[in-house]
Amino acid sequence: MTRTILVIGGTGAQGVPVVKALASDSEYNVRVLTRSSFSMEAQELAKIHGVAIHEGNCYDETTLRQALKGVNGIFVNTNGLAIGEKAEIYWGIRLYELSREFGLEHFVYAGLEYASKLGNFQPKYRCSFLDAKGKVAEYISAQPTTPMAWSVITSCGYIEALSEVLRPFPDPNDPTTLIFAAPLGSAKCPLIYLEDYGAYVRWMFDTPARSNGLNLHVATEDISWNHVAASFTELTGKKAVYKDFTLEEYFNLGTIPNPDAKLGHSADPNDSTLLTYRESFTGFWNTWKDGLTSRDYNLLNEILPTRVKTVREWMEKTGYTGEAISVLKDYRDRTVVRKVSDIP
């Protein structure tokens, strides 16, 4: 019998590959809850056999109760960049509660690292969108694995961001050289290929006997930015280097046009609990720079033997050129783009 999976956040960068992976055969029907059935992503997903678009507010209980009727499982990816930390914690927990109420078989949550906890709650690691999902993941992990199975997929940055907010830009002193910039020093940063992310979520629904009660930390690899630049040069013949930036220099690049704006663009701007982009992304980069996280790559290889395993393999597979490609809806829709993105 074909099962129906409700996807929250299905038109976002993470959600689209999840929907495609679930709808890749006749095993699942996919119901995508989105605020606009006319968005580019919703229109493209609607063309896929087995995918139905359910228009409505993902953060409205009446809408959620309608969307949950007749579904067997749910994938939840809330958007903290939009709704802020408090709302993301509330809706992550509430969605779990509603899923239990409606008798769902399997709840899969899109988590992130609980950065503050990993850093012993030092302010330098405070990141609202990491911490919110990390707190919800801890709540879910404390729940029983019956009668509803639960799984958490803890992710990291998208490798596709190397074509967007992390893409290289010309050296002002030597336009023939491209600079990959990050405030990482010599540290490595995990990134995930989104197509593989979708495949991991599909595996969770396919194999509840193994995924039930599992918090799976996924990534392509822990990536050295020197390796990013070297791989790019090897594959394209274009000279590229890695430049380590201080956090202040990084924010001055213009990746975030107004770093002192509050993070949570649809939340009450007067909410005193909202952090700024500068504060949250300081915690984000410090988490990776100080090596607070780890992943079991042997387990990831076992689960998905065909996964992309290196940034170089990803560059080769996708024909990466360093040119700008929009991935993140919040960046595209709100014109949050790097100043240097207009440089050819």
pLDDT in tens, 127-186: 999 999 999 999 999 999 999 999 999 999 999 999 999 999 999 999 999 999 999 999
Query: The whole model's pTM is what?
Result: 0.94
d(CA 120, CA 130): 14
pLDDT category at 254 given cuts 50, 70, 90 is: confident
Pair 315, 239: CB distance under 8 Å: no
Characterise 319 by phi-psi region: left (phi > 0), alpha (psi -120 to 50), beta (else). left
Pair 244, 327: CB distance under 8 Å: no
Q: What type of residue is 274?
A: L
pLDDT in tens, 202-223: 999 999 999 999 999 999 999 9
Q: What is residue 338's predicted lDDT score, i.e. its pLDDT?
A: 36
pLDDT in tens, 53-72: 999 999 999 999 999 999 99
Helix residue ranges, H only, 144-276? 194-206, 208-211, 225-236, 247-252
* Interval 104-125 mean pLDDT: 98
Pair 21, 10: CB distance under 8 Å: no
* Interval 251-261 mean pLDDT: 90
pLDDT category at 255 given cuts 50, 70, 90 is: confident
Q: What value does the mean pLDDT of the chain take?
A: 94
Q: What is residue 329's predicted lDDT score, i.e. its pLDDT?
A: 57
Rg (CA), the chain: 20
pLDDT category at 341 given cuts 50, 70, 90 is: very low
Pair 151, 107: CB distance under 8 Å: yes
Residue 117, pLDDT above cutoff 90: yes
pLDDT in tens, 310-334: 999 999 999 999 998 877 655 455 4
* Interval 302-307 mean pLDDT: 98
Q: What is residue 340's predicted lDDT score, i.e. its pLDDT?
A: 37
Structure tokens at 339: 């100043």
d(CA 220, CA 8): 24
The answer to whether domain 3-157+193-217 has CATH 3.40.50.720 is yes
Domain segments of the chain: what residues? 3-157+193-217, 159-189+222-291+310-342
- Residues counted in the chain: 344
Cα separation values, 77 from 96, 179, 247, Å? 12, 32, 28
Q: What is residue 162's predicted lDDT score, i.e. its pLDDT?
A: 96
DSSP tag of 12: S
Q: What is residue 110's predicted lDDT score, i.e. its pLDDT?
A: 98
User: Domain 159-189+222-291+310-342: what homologous superfamily?
Assistant: UDP-galactose 4-epimerase, domain 1 (3.90.25.10)
Among residues 327, 319, 320, which one has the least CA distance to residue 180?
320
How do 51-55 and 73-76 pair as beta strands?
A: unpaired
Pair 21, 201: CB distance under 8 Å: yes
Cα separation values, 217 from 214, 258, 330, Å? 9, 31, 24
* Interval 79-97 mean pLDDT: 97
Pair 114, 130: CB distance under 8 Å: yes
